[in-house]
Structure 1
Amino acid sequence: MTRCLGRCTTAALMWVAYTSTAGAETVAATVEQWGLLGSWAVDCAARPDRDKGALLTYEIRKDGRLMYRRNFGDARDENEVVSATVSAEGLLNVMVYFPSLHQTREFGLLLAKDGNLRAIYNRSERGEYTIRDGKYVATGAPTPAQQRCD
């Protein structure tokens, strides 16, 4: 019985280690294949600004984790992308953990044929939207197209 328990425990630990590594590679590979890696902004020539547009960067670290860096000019942060999937319609669904906010947010991104990127939705883990159907919930204004800056 003890030998069986030991084997099961070892197998479970190996499975967890494997799936953690495979999951990290899958997130990075999904985002890389979709075309999101690099820096994006509404206006790459403008300095990053909270009101006029941040510089958003998606980068794979040496350890294989995918990081999402935001530069607002007066503030910056770096957060881990914990999940990335592509829908049948080509929408990239990304989940990012924000330690400073103590929450995970999910957002959907659409890459247009002209190479521009648009946020289609952004919601909290409670399902509260800031962007829905490509428009800001607070104002109804459409989200701006972002261009690759690198």
Structure 2
Amino acid sequence: MMRYLSRWTTAAVLWIAFTSLAGAETLAATVEQWGLLGSWAVDCAVRPDRDKGAVLTYEIRGDGRVMYRRDFGDAKDENEVVSATVNAEGLLNLMVYFPTLHQTRQFGLLLAKDGSLRAIYNRSERGEYTIRDGKYVKTGAPTLPQQRCSQQSS
């Protein structure tokens, strides 16, 4: 009986390890194929600044994790992308865990034909939106398109 239990335990551990690895590869492949990797900003010539625009960087680490780095000039953080799917309209739906905020946020990004990137929605796990239908909820102003930047200094 113990031998069978041991085999089942080993099989379960291996299954979990392989499905986690497969999930990471699928996530990395999704963001790479969609065209998200790299650094993005409203104006790449302007130094990162909380009021004038952050530089947002998406990268795949050696261990396969997809990371989302935000550079606001006076503050920087790094967060893990835990999910990425593309819907029929081409919207990339990301779920990112922000450890410093103790929350997961979901946001949708659209890649325009000119290569620019635009935030369509951004919401907390409780469904509270900061961006909805491509507009900031607080002001009603449309989100600005972001351009892919060449290498940024960290």
1:116 matches 2:116? yes
Q: Once the 2 structures are TM-superposed, how far is the Cα of residue 25 of structure 1 from its aligned partner? A: 1.0
Superposed, which structure 2 residues align to 1:93-104 within 5 Å?
93-104=93-104
Q: Distance in 1 between matches of 2:138 and 2:15?
A: 44
1:113-139 CA distance string (max 9 Å, x none):
000000000011111110000000111
Q: Once the 2 structures are TM-superposed, how far is the Cα of residue 2 of structure 1 from its aligned partner? A: 2.2
Q: Distance in 2 between matches of 1:127 and 1:19?
A: 28
Q: Once the 2 structures are TM-superposed, how far is the Cα of residue 11 of structure 1 from its aligned partner? A: 1.2
1:29 corresponding residue in structure 2: 29
Following TM superposition, where does structure 1 have runs of at least 4 consecutive aligned residues deviating by more than 6 angstroms? none
Q: Please, what TM-score do these two structures have when normalized by structure 1? A: 0.98
Q: Which runs of 5+ in 2 are unaligned?
A: none
Q: Which runs of 5+ in 1 are unaligned?
A: none
Aligned residues: 150
Q: Partner amino acid for 1:63?
A: D
Instruction: Say what the alpha-carbon RMSD is for the aligned residues.
Output: 0.8
Q: Please, what TM-score do these two structures have when normalized by structure 2? A: 0.95
Q: Once the 2 structures are TM-superposed, how far is the Cα of residue 44 of structure 1 from its aligned partner? A: 0.3
Q: Partner amino acid for 1:20?
A: S
1:131 corresponding residue in structure 2: 131
Q: Distance in 1 between matches of 2:5 and 2:132?
A: 49
Percent identity among equivalent residues?
A: 83
